[in-house]
Structure 1
Amino acid sequence: MLRKLFSSPLFIKFIPGSADFIPLRKYDTSLGTTTTVNLDPENFCFTAREIAMKAFFVFFFCVVFCVFILAPTTSIAETVVINRNTVSKSSSNGTDKTYKNSPPYSQMSEEVLSPTRVKDETEWKVLDTTEDIDTNVPKEGEAYDQSDDDMVLFDLSSGNEIPIINDSKEDDTGAPVVVGKELDLGQNLDDVWDRIRQGFGMPDFKSNLVHQEELWYVHHHKTTVAIFERAKPYLHYIVDQVQKHSMPTEFSLLPIVESAYNPFALSPARASGLWQFIPSTGKKYNLSQNWWVDKRRDIVASTKAALTYFTNLYNQFGDWQLSLAGYNWGESAVQNAITHNQRYNMPADYEHLKMPRETRHYIPKLQALKNIINNPGAYGFELPHIVNKPYLVAVEITSTLDIPTAAKLAELPISQFLHLNPAFKRPVIKSSKKDKYILLLPYDRKETFLKNLDDYRKHNKKLSHWHIYYIYQKTPIRSVAQKFHVKTSQILLSNGLNPGTHWVHGTLLIPDAKNPIPTAIENQIHKIMPIPEQEEVFYYQNRRKHRYHGKHHIKNIFGSHIRS
């Protein structure tokens, strides 16, 4: 390598006298022989190809020198961060919106669990204020703690499960953590839409793109009205949390742009939930994704994560519009665009950054919705009345419960129950005293839920009709079926397995042999499960246009369809 470097034409050309002591090999095409010659630097000529080849060796040598000699003594992990019109340097520890696969399911210990016992000494408490709701997913492989099972009702109206960030709080650099005026929470208003209008705090974005988005909502009148109706169960809670974070209420309209307020929405990039978290960003903000649940679809957990994410983005950029761009495009991509504009003395705001088309239309869509909410009559809309009172109440459960049973206790249709609790991927809510979970119910159904549950206890009715079976190694499915006295086809259908499956491993749901079959399977299997890797491309290609236009139906075996 050194010989090639020192014998290169570049080395000879720019270092006089080097050709006198560096012999070069020359290939004679006519004779087919190789001779050694000394080159004269003054009369030496070389082609562009030779220049490129020799320059590559010089460049490679310089890179190796820098990496192995200079790198250990220098720091190259600094990036420029914009904070309230001031430029400061900080370590780049942000996470881009990269599309990574979820980790494989962990292996479980082999045991049969039938956590259906409910003790008579079960206690219930109705709390006036909200405590911190534990949003941790039950750890797989742990045995159930079924002693002293109880359930606690939480009122989500106070919103204390999400910390309130004060405007006066400062970070290490002295810059405010959250910017903006102190917003009136609007508790005295009668309608949530009035509360949203009162809390608007972002400057109006003026662009021809805004008019285009307004026309889209007007031309798709039925779809837009359906979105407003779909937002009714969630809107009060989300507005409450947005204002308690001292953020403009425009952010409560963002799920319309992201998911059309459909908690089951799934994008081609595998973003899911109201706030459309991709798997990697969801993990960063503690939104667990495992065999049992996908917290990206959880209303409380995903809202908490989204508002925390926006707060972090604002701390980085000091501007709500750039924060929105970072949420859609990725914070590192926005930071690189800002750095590029600053390098060429160009404005570094949202309007002047070079960005993808989707991000370019992101804020115009939000501004169009803002204009419609401000004056719905001018656009031919009549907003549905949403009472400015809490709609949701959280029930913390510490014993395993079937989803159909939970819906029956609350006297709700299963489809409505699932839209309030969309995170569950199985027909069983796996919970214990150690690993609690919460259910969301309409506020006016809490007394009904308590009364029906008390009747279940008095008559010793089961809350779950499923066995959870963990298998370490591949096992014949026929032997599993014989062990639980059920048919092989029932196990396959219960777990969404192909009819030709003969060997199984991991976690299995086994229906109770004493429960009516196939009624239990037909009415209790929640068929919203992870898409196998080999089927992802086919699924996305055939469902893309339907999903974005709100026509895709997510089928389940409860006997109904969930309209997205």
Structure 2
Amino acid sequence: MKYLFMLFFPLFLYANLTYDTNYNKEVSLLSSFDIEPSFLYDPIMNKMKDETIKKHKHFFSAMNKAYLFIPAIKSTLSKYNVPREFLYLAMAESNFQTKAYSNKRAAGLWQFMPRTAKLYHLKVDEYVDERRDLIKSTEAAAKYLSALHKRFGKWYLAAIAYNCGGGALNKAIRRAGTDNLEVLLNEKKKYIPKESRNYIRKIVALALIGSDEKYMMNNEYEYLLNRANAYSIATVKLAPGESLRRLSHLIHMPLKDLKKLNRQLKYDFVPPYAKSYDIYIPYIKLAEFKQKYFKAPMQNIYKIYRVKNGDNLGHIGKKFGVSYKVIKDFNHLSSNRLHIRQKLVIPISKRSYRKKLRKNRYYYMVRRGDSLESIAKKHKISIKNLRAQNNIHGSLIRVGDRLKLYE
């Protein structure tokens, strides 16, 4: 017995130390949200955690796709004194999809509504939707969370308010007579909406999984632990109207990968109105960018079109699948008047514009003031046909929607 005890004692000791280490890490993680250690035993949170672990491929797929910009998100949160664990709030909101868009008109990593985006100076216009800008939106989210923390005093309250709103949370705290998390999450009293009760649990569950090094290693995803620290992004400034396609050629980076880092752009070029505009590239491409990037004349990048008799901006825009406003902005036109043989810059790649023409011939981009009736009348098709092709059940369409016009 003595021999067996001596043989297995190190194993028992190691298991105990491992348990203590993991427990301490989990308690530390909860404290970053100002949550008591007892929350580790919340049955609903643990059920969410177990379900996520069962579907681990989905979890790690999201982490893997976001590995390039996760360090930038963590760094930005720290810059505004927001716990890095709030990274998992973004995962809960959008699954780290910068192009995520909800039926409530929320967009981007942090799912900002238009009103909140405007409040935190995120630009949404013809050319950009900065709710999808991974750095600017994270800065806005960090400022918003900091304001909520200042208002409510605890980080878990800031997270809940992010979901249900400060007013609803205030009302819940008054009804409950406390801001204690266990009380607010009472399933019978329902002080806060079910979505918000599950929201904070989901964030904590995701954070516990993402910070469990042993779990990551056991599932052969340990490379993510180092990968997130080894890779990052750099911010570079491009000239107004610059083409992403041209940049991808200059720094030898696939265009699709460059687009993934810059979902804030609605077109394949930066806004023509800015003196310069921030674009994100992998940090390992920064030296190559500094060495090779130079501002080129517009006529060397895009197609040049000569105005013909009977042309107008709307007709030219439709021909090339580009908004008339974009053509107007690129050519610094103060009015819609054109003259014959006038040269216009059309922001579309010289080599690919024919392909784009074919692609856009049967589609229409909804503009401000449009309705199903006006679009149907303009393109001489029935409203019924328009609804059927685009799976529209009512009359609601939004600016920026891409509608199919013909079968």
Whether 1:494 and 2:322 are equivalent positions in the alignment is: yes
CA gap of 1:401–1:310, structure 2 versus 1, over 3 A, is: same
SS in 1 for 2:280: strand
Q: Is the 8 A contact 2:52 2:59 kept in 1?
A: yes
Whether 1:303 and 2:143 are equivalent positions in the alignment is: no
Q: Return the alpha-carbon distance in structure 2 between the equivalents of residues 243 and 293 of structure 1.
A: 26
CA gap of 1:332–1:507, structure 2 versus 1, over 3 A, is: same
Question: What is aligned with 2:54?
Answer: 219
SS in 2 for 1:299: coil
Deviation at 1:467, TM superposition (A): 7.3
Amino acid at match of 2:249: K
CA gap of 1:442–1:513, structure 2 versus 1, over 3 A, is: closer
| Cα deviation 1:309-352 (Å, max 9, x = unaligned) | 0110011100111110110111111112112223xxxx333332
CA gap of 1:351–1:521, structure 2 versus 1, over 3 A, is: farther
Q: TM-score, normalised by structure 1?
A: 0.50
Deviation at 1:376, TM superposition (A): 4.8
Deviation at 1:396, TM superposition (A): 1.4
Whether 1:272 and 2:107 are equivalent positions in the alignment is: yes
Amino acid at match of 1:480: N
Q: Return the alpha-carbon distance in structure 1 between the equivalents of residues 364 and 117 of structure 2.
A: 19
Q: Return the alpha-carbon distance in structure 2 between the equivalents of residues 284 and 418 of structure 1.
A: 26
1:35-434 counterparts in 2 under 5 A?
201-202=32-33, 203=35, 204=37, 205-206=39-40, 207-342=42-177, 347-353=178-184, 354-378=191-215, 381=219, 382-383=221-222, 384=224, 385-389=226-230, 391-431=232-272
Question: What is aligned with 1:161?
Answer: none
Deviation at 1:481, TM superposition (A): 6.7
SS in 1 for 2:108: coil
CA gap of 1:249–1:515, structure 2 versus 1, over 3 A, is: closer
Q: TM-score, normalised by structure 2?
A: 0.67
Deviation at 1:304, TM superposition (A): 0.7
Deviation at 1:276, TM superposition (A): 0.8
Q: Return the alpha-carbon distance in structure 1 between the equivalents of residues 230 and 360 of structure 2.
A: 33
The structure with more strand, counted as a fraction of residues:
1
Deviation at 1:390, TM superposition (A): 5.9
Q: Is the 8 A contact 1:427 1:524 kept in 2?
A: no
SS in 2 for 1:429: coil
| Cα deviation 1:20-77 (Å, max 9, x = unaligned) | xxxxxxxxxxxxxxxxxxxxxxxxxxxxxxxxxxxxxxxxxxxxxxxxxxxxxxxxxx
Question: What is aligned with 1:480?
Answer: 312
Question: How many corresponding residue pairs?
Answer: 319
Question: What is aligned with 1:84?
Answer: none
Q: Return the alpha-carbon distance in structure 2 between the equivalents of residues 220 and 305 of structure 1.
A: 31
Q: Is the 8 A contact 2:30 2:204 kept in 1?
A: no
Q: Is the 8 A contact 2:301 2:350 kept in 1?
A: no
Q: Return the alpha-carbon distance in structure 2 between the equivalents of residues 219 and 531 of structure 1.
A: 44
Q: Return the alpha-carbon distance in structure 2 between the equivalents of residues 365 and 446 of structure 1.
A: 36
SS in 2 for 1:232: coil
Whether 1:442 and 2:270 are equivalent positions in the alignment is: no
Whether 1:518 and 2:354 are equivalent positions in the alignment is: yes
Q: Return the alpha-carbon distance in structure 1 between the equivalents of residues 265 and 227 of structure 2.
A: 27
Q: Return the alpha-carbon distance in structure 1 between the equivalents of residues 117 and 93 of structure 2.
A: 15
The structure with more helix, counted as a fraction of residues:
2
CA gap of 1:521–1:236, structure 2 versus 1, over 3 A, is: farther
Q: Return the alpha-carbon distance in structure 2 between the equivalents of residues 360 and 352 of structure 1.
A: 11
Q: Is the 8 A contact 1:237 1:390 kept in 2?
A: no
Q: Return the alpha-carbon distance in structure 2 between the equivalents of residues 252 and 269 of structure 1.
A: 22
Q: Return the alpha-carbon distance in structure 2 between the equivalents of residues 335 and 540 of structure 1.
A: 40
Let me know the Cα RMSD of the aligned residues. 4.0
Question: What is aligned with 1:160?
Answer: none
Q: Return the alpha-carbon distance in structure 2 between the equivalents of residues 507 and 198 of structure 1.
A: 48
Q: Return the alpha-carbon distance in structure 2 between the equivalents of residues 308 and 451 of structure 1.
A: 35
Amino acid at match of 1:350: L
CA gap of 1:426–1:467, structure 2 versus 1, over 3 A, is: farther
Q: Any stretches of 5+ residues in structure 2 without a counterpart? A: 1-24, 185-190, 329-344, 373-386, 394-400, 403-407
Q: Return the alpha-carbon distance in structure 2 between the equivalents of residues 264 and 479 of structure 1.
A: 36
Rg comparison, structure with higher value: 1
Deviation at 1:521, TM superposition (A): 5.0
Q: Is the 8 A contact 1:313 1:326 kept in 2?
A: yes
